Protein backbone atom coordinates (compact mmCIF):
# COMPACT_ATOMS: atom_id res chain seq x y z
CA UNK A 1 0.00 0.00 0.00
CA UNK A 2 2.79 2.44 0.82
CA UNK A 3 4.26 1.81 -2.62
CA UNK A 4 0.90 2.79 -4.15
CA UNK A 5 0.73 5.99 -2.10
CA UNK A 6 4.28 6.95 -3.06
CA UNK A 7 3.64 6.22 -6.73
CA UNK A 8 0.49 8.34 -6.73
CA UNK A 9 2.42 11.32 -5.38
CA UNK A 10 5.29 10.86 -7.83
CA UNK A 11 3.02 10.47 -10.85
CA UNK A 12 1.19 13.61 -9.78
CA UNK A 13 4.44 15.58 -9.53
CA UNK A 14 5.64 14.25 -12.91
CA UNK A 15 2.35 15.29 -14.52
CA UNK A 16 1.40 11.75 -15.55
CA UNK A 17 -1.51 11.09 -13.19
CA UNK A 18 -4.10 13.38 -14.81
CA UNK A 19 -3.29 12.04 -18.29
CA UNK A 20 -3.50 8.44 -17.06
CA UNK A 21 -6.94 9.18 -15.58
CA UNK A 22 -8.06 10.77 -18.84
CA UNK A 23 -7.00 7.68 -20.79
CA UNK A 24 -8.66 5.42 -18.21
CA UNK A 25 -11.98 7.28 -18.42
CA UNK A 26 -11.98 7.25 -22.23
CA UNK A 27 -10.42 3.87 -23.07
CA UNK A 28 -10.37 1.72 -19.92
CA UNK A 29 -7.81 -0.19 -17.86
CA UNK A 30 -5.34 -1.57 -20.40
CA UNK A 31 -4.47 1.67 -22.28
CA UNK A 32 -4.08 3.59 -19.00
CA UNK A 33 -1.75 0.94 -17.60
CA UNK A 34 0.21 0.86 -20.86
CA UNK A 35 0.62 4.66 -20.75
CA UNK A 36 2.05 4.62 -17.22
CA UNK A 37 4.30 1.62 -17.85
CA UNK A 38 5.77 3.02 -21.07
CA UNK A 39 5.75 6.81 -20.74
CA UNK A 40 8.55 7.00 -18.20
CA UNK A 41 10.91 5.48 -20.80
CA UNK A 42 10.35 8.47 -23.11
CA UNK A 43 10.80 10.90 -20.23
CA UNK A 44 14.03 9.16 -19.30
CA UNK A 45 15.37 9.73 -22.82
CA UNK A 46 14.34 13.39 -22.84
CA UNK A 47 16.06 14.04 -19.51
CA UNK A 48 19.20 12.05 -20.16
CA UNK A 49 22.13 14.14 -18.83
CA UNK A 50 24.09 13.69 -22.07
CA UNK A 51 21.29 15.46 -23.98
CA UNK A 52 21.14 18.35 -21.51
CA UNK A 53 24.75 19.49 -21.02
CA UNK A 54 23.68 22.99 -19.94
CA UNK A 55 21.39 21.62 -17.23
CA UNK A 56 23.23 18.43 -16.37
CA UNK A 57 22.67 18.62 -12.61
CA UNK A 58 18.92 19.05 -12.95
CA UNK A 59 18.76 16.37 -15.63
CA UNK A 60 20.56 13.93 -13.34
CA UNK A 61 18.10 14.64 -10.52
CA UNK A 62 15.13 14.14 -12.85
CA UNK A 63 16.69 10.96 -14.21
CA UNK A 64 17.03 9.64 -10.65
CA UNK A 65 13.40 10.47 -9.87
CA UNK A 66 12.22 8.79 -13.08
CA UNK A 67 14.25 5.68 -12.24
CA UNK A 68 12.70 5.54 -8.76
CA UNK A 69 9.21 5.82 -10.27
CA UNK A 70 10.05 3.09 -12.79
CA UNK A 71 11.16 0.79 -9.97
CA UNK A 72 7.83 1.22 -8.17
CA UNK A 73 5.82 0.79 -11.40
CA UNK A 74 7.61 -2.44 -12.26
CA UNK A 75 6.98 -3.82 -8.77
CA UNK A 76 3.18 -3.31 -8.94
CA UNK A 77 0.75 -5.75 -10.58
CA UNK A 78 -1.75 -4.28 -13.02
CA UNK A 79 -4.60 -4.47 -10.50
CA UNK A 80 -2.79 -2.27 -7.98
CA UNK A 81 -1.53 0.11 -10.67
CA UNK A 82 -5.03 0.79 -11.95
CA UNK A 83 -6.13 1.54 -8.37
CA UNK A 84 -3.38 4.15 -8.16
CA UNK A 85 -4.60 5.70 -11.40
CA UNK A 86 -8.23 5.73 -10.25
CA UNK A 87 -7.80 6.74 -6.62
CA UNK A 88 -4.51 8.64 -6.27
CA UNK A 89 -4.03 12.22 -5.14
CA UNK A 90 -6.44 14.47 -7.03
CA UNK A 91 -4.93 17.77 -5.98
CA UNK A 92 -2.48 19.48 -8.34
CA UNK A 93 0.87 20.21 -6.68
CA UNK A 94 0.59 23.95 -7.47
CA UNK A 95 -0.92 26.48 -9.82
CA UNK A 96 0.44 25.75 -13.29
CA UNK A 97 1.43 27.91 -16.24
CA UNK A 98 -0.58 26.93 -19.31
CA UNK A 99 1.11 26.29 -22.67
CA UNK A 100 -0.59 25.56 -25.97
CA UNK A 101 1.60 23.74 -28.51
CA UNK A 102 0.42 23.91 -32.15
CA UNK A 103 2.47 21.48 -34.23
CA UNK A 104 1.65 19.20 -37.16
CA UNK A 105 4.65 16.85 -36.71
CA UNK A 106 3.65 13.98 -34.41
CA UNK A 107 7.17 13.43 -33.08
CA UNK A 108 7.43 17.04 -31.91
CA UNK A 109 3.89 16.94 -30.48
CA UNK A 110 4.69 14.07 -28.10
CA UNK A 111 8.13 15.40 -27.21
CA UNK A 112 6.93 18.91 -26.38
CA UNK A 113 3.94 17.62 -24.44
CA UNK A 114 6.21 15.49 -22.27
CA UNK A 115 8.84 18.20 -21.79
CA UNK A 116 6.33 20.79 -20.57
CA UNK A 117 4.45 18.28 -18.42
CA UNK A 118 7.66 17.17 -16.73
CA UNK A 119 8.53 20.80 -16.02
CA UNK A 120 5.21 21.38 -14.24
CA UNK A 121 3.27 23.17 -16.98
CA UNK A 122 -0.30 22.43 -17.95
CA UNK A 123 -0.13 21.72 -21.66
CA UNK A 124 -2.49 21.15 -24.57
CA UNK A 125 -1.49 20.15 -28.10
CA UNK A 126 -3.22 20.97 -31.40
CA UNK A 127 -2.33 19.55 -34.79
CA UNK A 128 -3.01 22.62 -36.98
CA UNK A 129 -4.01 26.27 -36.91
CA UNK A 130 -7.76 25.67 -37.10
CA UNK A 131 -7.69 23.24 -34.19
CA UNK A 132 -5.21 25.43 -32.36
CA UNK A 133 -7.60 28.38 -32.35
CA UNK A 134 -10.45 26.27 -31.00
CA UNK A 135 -8.22 24.85 -28.26
CA UNK A 136 -6.97 28.37 -27.45
CA UNK A 137 -10.52 29.67 -26.89
CA UNK A 138 -11.29 26.87 -24.44
CA UNK A 139 -7.87 26.56 -22.76
CA UNK A 140 -6.83 30.24 -22.44
CA UNK A 141 -3.07 29.56 -22.30
CA UNK A 142 -0.36 31.85 -20.95
CA UNK A 143 1.83 31.01 -23.94
CA UNK A 144 1.29 29.70 -27.48
CA UNK A 145 4.21 27.80 -29.02
CA UNK A 146 3.35 27.36 -32.68
CA UNK A 147 4.94 25.98 -35.80
CA UNK A 148 4.95 28.35 -38.78
CA UNK A 149 4.51 26.03 -41.76
CA UNK A 150 1.27 24.08 -41.32
CA UNK A 151 -1.50 23.03 -43.72
CA UNK A 152 -4.71 25.08 -44.03
CA UNK A 153 -4.06 27.75 -41.39
CA UNK A 154 -0.37 28.54 -40.87
CA UNK A 155 1.16 29.77 -37.62
CA UNK A 156 1.13 33.46 -38.56
CA UNK A 157 -2.57 33.35 -39.47
CA UNK A 158 -3.32 31.51 -36.23
CA UNK A 159 -1.55 34.14 -34.15
CA UNK A 160 -3.44 36.94 -35.89
CA UNK A 161 -6.73 35.26 -34.97
CA UNK A 162 -5.64 34.82 -31.37
CA UNK A 163 -4.36 38.40 -31.15
CA UNK A 164 -7.80 39.67 -32.12
CA UNK A 165 -9.04 38.08 -28.88
CA UNK A 166 -6.01 38.92 -26.73
CA UNK A 167 -3.55 41.53 -27.95
CA UNK A 168 -1.11 40.74 -25.12
CA UNK A 169 -0.85 36.98 -25.79
CA UNK A 170 2.69 35.61 -25.60
CA UNK A 171 3.81 33.77 -28.74
CA UNK A 172 6.88 31.76 -29.69
CA UNK A 173 7.22 30.80 -33.35
CA UNK A 174 9.13 27.66 -34.32
CA UNK A 175 10.01 26.13 -37.65
CA UNK A 176 12.66 24.10 -39.38
CA UNK A 177 12.16 25.84 -42.71
CA UNK A 178 11.19 29.41 -43.54
CA UNK A 179 11.54 28.81 -47.29
CA UNK A 180 8.20 30.24 -48.49
CA UNK A 181 9.12 33.83 -49.34
CA UNK A 182 5.68 35.33 -48.73
CA UNK A 183 5.33 33.57 -45.41
CA UNK A 184 8.88 34.46 -44.38
CA UNK A 185 8.15 38.12 -45.10
CA UNK A 186 4.98 37.96 -43.00
CA UNK A 187 6.85 36.24 -40.19
CA UNK A 188 9.65 38.82 -40.25
CA UNK A 189 7.08 41.61 -40.01
CA UNK A 190 5.32 39.86 -37.10
CA UNK A 191 8.54 39.34 -35.18
CA UNK A 192 9.71 42.91 -35.80
CA UNK A 193 6.41 44.49 -34.77
CA UNK A 194 5.49 42.30 -31.80
CA UNK A 195 8.94 41.11 -30.68
CA UNK A 196 7.91 37.45 -30.65
CA UNK A 197 10.80 35.02 -30.05
CA UNK A 198 11.55 32.33 -32.65
CA UNK A 199 13.03 28.83 -32.43
CA UNK A 200 14.66 26.96 -35.31
CA UNK A 201 14.26 23.18 -35.36
CA UNK A 202 15.96 21.15 -34.13
CA UNK A 203 16.50 22.95 -30.83
CA UNK A 204 17.88 21.88 -27.47
CA UNK A 205 15.44 21.22 -24.64
CA UNK A 206 17.52 23.41 -22.34
CA UNK A 207 17.32 26.33 -24.79
CA UNK A 208 13.55 25.95 -25.18
CA UNK A 209 12.92 25.91 -21.43
CA UNK A 210 15.28 28.81 -20.77
CA UNK A 211 13.50 30.88 -23.42
CA UNK A 212 10.03 30.01 -22.09
CA UNK A 213 10.91 30.77 -18.47
CA UNK A 214 12.52 34.08 -19.36
CA UNK A 215 9.62 35.06 -21.65
CA UNK A 216 7.03 34.27 -18.97
CA UNK A 217 9.08 35.98 -16.25
CA UNK A 218 9.53 32.77 -14.27
CA UNK A 219 13.26 33.19 -13.61
Give the tens place of pLDDT for each residue, 25-37: 888 899 988 888 8
The domain spans of the chain are 2-87, 98-216
For the stretch 110-131, what's the b/e string if a residue is b when 16 or more beta carbons lie within 10 angstroms of its beta carbon?
ebbbbbbbbbebbbbbbbbbbb
Find, among 176, 170, 219, 178, the residue nearest to 200 by Cα: 176
Tens of pLDDT, residues 177-214: 555 677 788 888 888 888 899 998 888 888 999 999 98
Query: What are the CA-CA distances from residue 195 to residues 41, 169, 207, 215 (Å)?
Result: 37, 12, 18, 11
CATH code for the structural domain at 98-216: 3.40.50.2300
pLDDT in tens, 130-173: 999 999 999 999 999 999 988 888 899 999 999 999 988 999 99
Amino acid sequence: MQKSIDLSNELNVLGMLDKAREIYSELGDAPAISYVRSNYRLLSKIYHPDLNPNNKEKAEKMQQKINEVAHIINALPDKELIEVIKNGALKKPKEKWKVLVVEDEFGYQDTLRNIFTMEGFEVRVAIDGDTGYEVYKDFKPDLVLTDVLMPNVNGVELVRRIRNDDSSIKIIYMSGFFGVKRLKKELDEEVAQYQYPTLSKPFKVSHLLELVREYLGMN
